Every structure is written in structure tokens, then in C-alpha cells.
Amino acid sequence: MTTQEVANRYMELEKAGKWLDIHEELYSKDAVSIEPEHAAAMGMPTVTAGLDAIKAKGQAWNEGIEEMHGGYCSEPLIGGNFFTVSMGMDATMKGGHRMKMDEIAVFEVKEGKIIKEQFFF
């Protein structure tokens, strides 16, 4: 798949709420996920390597959410082997604090698979 095709499929699955399918279908087994340094204060690793570890990180994040109040994801912008989306969520985390988060996600595609994701928030 081209970068545009990967981005289109990402959006199709994202709109359906199929995050596990996104990982299974679109990510390389050796993909890397990068969070900003300040994410460590939220209990998140700043670098996660390998699809299984990325899925586990996502599952841990989801398990920390008590209630979702809303969210969004913009249409992708394509640049060479990269695509980016703006996304956000409004959620109450376990422990009772409500959090609104807006971020930019950048994905690198190689040979039809996402090999790197990086988040800026």
C-alpha cells in the first residue's frame, strides 16, 4: 500500500473505533512508538519498540480510562512516506480526574506498513 492508502485505511478503522485492527493490519512487527518526554510523568514510556509492546501500551492506557466523553481525529495530511493527524480526547481517568488532550500524531510508512508513530502534546 502507498502512504495515502495506509492513511485512508487508518482513518476508516479509526472512525469505526477499531484500534486493535489498526495495529494488526497496518503496523510493522518492528514498529516504534515515541511519546514526548513529559509523558513519563503520566506513567507512559517515551519509547516503545515492537508491535506487541505498542499494543500493550495502548491497552494499559485504555485501562486507565474510566469514562470517555468525546474525541476526534482529523483527516490525514500526506508528505512523502509520512502522514499526520490531529487528534484529541476528553476522558475521566481512573482516580477521578477529567482530562482533555489534543495532540499531533505523525506516522512513518515503509513498504506499506507503519514503522514509526510519534506523538506531540
Chain-centre distance of CA 107, in angstroms?
9
Residue 74, phi then psi, degrees to nearest 5: -75, 165
* pTM reported for the whole predicted model: 0.93
- pLDDT recorded at residue 42: 82
Grid cell of 77 as nine digits: 495530511
Cell 506499506 identifies what position? 112
- Is the Cβ–Cβ distance between 109 and 6 less than 8 Å? yes
- pLDDT recorded at residue 67: 96
- Is the Cβ–Cβ distance between 108 and 119 less than 8 Å? no
Kindly report, residue by residue over 52-73, the tens digit of the pLDDT.
Answer: 999 999 999 889 999 999 999 9
Kindly report, residue by residue over 6-26, the tens digit of the pLDDT.
Answer: 999 999 999 998 989 999 999
Cell 508491535 identifies what position? 51
Domain ranges of the chain: 3-120
CATH code of the region 3-120: 3.10.450.50
